[in-house]
């Protein structure tokens, strides 16, 4: 397939000249030729002097539109009367054919903060989720010709003139909309948190690495059509939606209390068993089954109570 029929980026192979050399020719050499026509010809006002001077003056004016400066991580998409001729990624001060359009496209890394959106997770709970996206343009052909945008506008007058790039706005709008769609799609495949019967399931809270990998995969699928590469995507906000946040907070608190109680009971049982074993092995006292049950009950009350136990001193016989 020829370059003119290609639908992807390729390197510009056309003519480019050092801008300083062309600037010298344009500002010094051409004016000297025009002056020489009027100085050395016998009749300065004859057609032999005026016509070449007019032609040289027109060339001087046209050449002024061929200069451009390109910095690192910038590119120029070269278009000659509607035909794509390639992308130039070099740096420096250059001059190209003034009739060739050179659209400037930045290849630098950009950040985008995708504001939290409300999405239903896998089990139907509404959650608020947001992310930070780091991206850059990889294929300049697609970013210029596959994304529709209005032509650039010149706004203002005099010293307040500025050029508004609708292409840049259209590109950022495309990235934001597709990022929103990818985030919604990924969120719908995972629950916010583990359910009681699915402790090993990947969730939005626990599966950060897996979630990010899948999110980057979906983003690259959607943004590659515009020649955009995702450098990094990270979740920066995750919470239940306001309408269920209070209920889910109480649920989490209840789960935390139950887990804490389980740990306390397990520890208390171990301490009671240790106490009974130590009393028996050291021969401190012989307890029948009823006394053991009473001791176990008292120790569990002391160890598992929310508040410190109030001791009661028995000054009589244990058998009274």
Lowest mean pLDDT among 67-81, 178-192, 274-288: 274-288
Average pLDDT value for the chain: 81
Q: Is 312 left (phi over 0), alpha (psi -120 to 50) or beta?
A: beta
Q: What pLDDT does 4 receive?
A: 46
- Rounded to an integer, what distance in angstroms lies between the CA atom of residue 252 and that of residue 312? 37
Q: What pLDDT does 58 receive?
A: 87
Mean pLDDT for the stretch of residues 14-41 = 84
66, pLDDT greater than 60: yes
- Rounded to an integer, what distance in angstroms lies between the CA atom of residue 88 and that of residue 79? 11
List the one residue out of 316, 279, 315, 313 whose CA is nearest residue 296: 279
159, pLDDT greater than 60: no
131, pLDDT greater than 90: yes
Q: What pLDDT does 81 receive?
A: 92
User: 261 versus 159: which is more confidently predicted?
Assistant: 261
User: 46 versus 5: which is more confidently predicted?
Assistant: 46
Model confidence pLDDT, tens digit, residues 294-306: 777 777 676 676 6
- pTM confidence score: 0.68
Tokens encoding 239: 């919470």
Q: Is 75 left (phi over 0), alpha (psi -120 to 50) or beta?
A: beta
Residue 177: other Cβ atoms inside 10 A: 11
Model confidence pLDDT, tens digit, residues 254-288: 667 777 777 777 777 888 778 777 777 776 667 66
229, pLDDT greater than 50: yes
- Rounded to an integer, what distance in angstroms lies between the CA atom of residue 246 and that of residue 13? 63
pLDDT band, very low/low/confident/very high, at 1 (cuts 50, 70, 90): very low
215, pLDDT greater than 90: yes
Q: What pLDDT does 209 receive?
A: 86
CB proximity list for 237: less than 8 A, separation 6 or greater: 116, 128, 129, 130, 131
Q: What pLDDT does 2 receive?
A: 44
Q: What pLDDT does 80 receive?
A: 94
What is the b/e burial string over 26-64, where b = at least 16 CB atoms within 10 angstroms of the residue's CB? beeebeeebeebeeeeeeeeeeebeeebeebeeebeebe
- Rounded to an integer, what distance in angstroms lies between the CA atom of residue 149 and that of residue 167? 5
Contact 22, 60 (CB under 8 A): no
Lowest mean pLDDT among 124-133, 159-168, 186-195: 159-168
Model confidence pLDDT, tens digit, residues 135-155: 999 999 999 998 887 666 555
75, pLDDT greater than 90: yes
Residue 291: other Cβ atoms inside 10 A: 13
């Amino acid at each position: 397939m020829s370059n003119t029929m290609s639908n992807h980026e390729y390197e510009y192979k056309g003519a480019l000249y050092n801008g300083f050399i062309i600037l010298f020719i344009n500002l010094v050499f051409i004016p000297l030729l025009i002056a020489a026509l009027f100085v050395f010809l016998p009749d300065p006002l004859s057609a032999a002097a005026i016509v070449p001077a007019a032609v040289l003056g027109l060339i001087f004016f046209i050449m002024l539109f061929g200069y451009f400066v390109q910095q690192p991580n910038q590119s120029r998409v070269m278009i000659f009367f509607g035909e794509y001729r390639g992308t130039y990624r070099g740096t420096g001060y250059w001059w190209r054919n003034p009739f060739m359009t050179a659209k400037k496209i930045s290849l630098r890394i950009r950040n985008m903060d995708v504001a939290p959106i409300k999405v239903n997770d896998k089990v139907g709970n509404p959650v608020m989720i947001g992310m930070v996206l780091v991206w850059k343009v990889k294929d300049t052909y697609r970013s210029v010709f596959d994304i529709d945008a209005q032509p650039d506008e010149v706004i203002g007058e005099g010293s307040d003139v500025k050029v508004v790039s609708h292409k840049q706005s259209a590109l950022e709008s495309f990235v934001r909309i597709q990022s929103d769609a990818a985030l919604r799609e990924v969120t719908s495949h995972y629950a916010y948190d583990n359910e009681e019967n699915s402790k090993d399931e990947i969730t939005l809270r626990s599966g950060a690495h897996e979630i990010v990998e899948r999110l980057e995969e979906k983003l690259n699928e959607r943004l590659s059509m515009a020649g955009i590469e995702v450098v990094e995507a990270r979740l920066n906000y995750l919470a239940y939606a306001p309408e269920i946040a209070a209920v889910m907070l109480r649920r989490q608190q209840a789960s935390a209390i139950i887990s804490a109680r389980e740990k306390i009971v397990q520890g208390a049982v171990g301490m009671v068993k240790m106490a009974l074993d130590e009393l028996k092995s050291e021969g401190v006292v012989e307890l029948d089954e009823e006394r053991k049950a009473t001791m176990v009950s008292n120790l569990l009350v002391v160890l598992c109570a929310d508040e410190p136990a109030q001791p009661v001193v028995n000054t009589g016989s244990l058998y009274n």
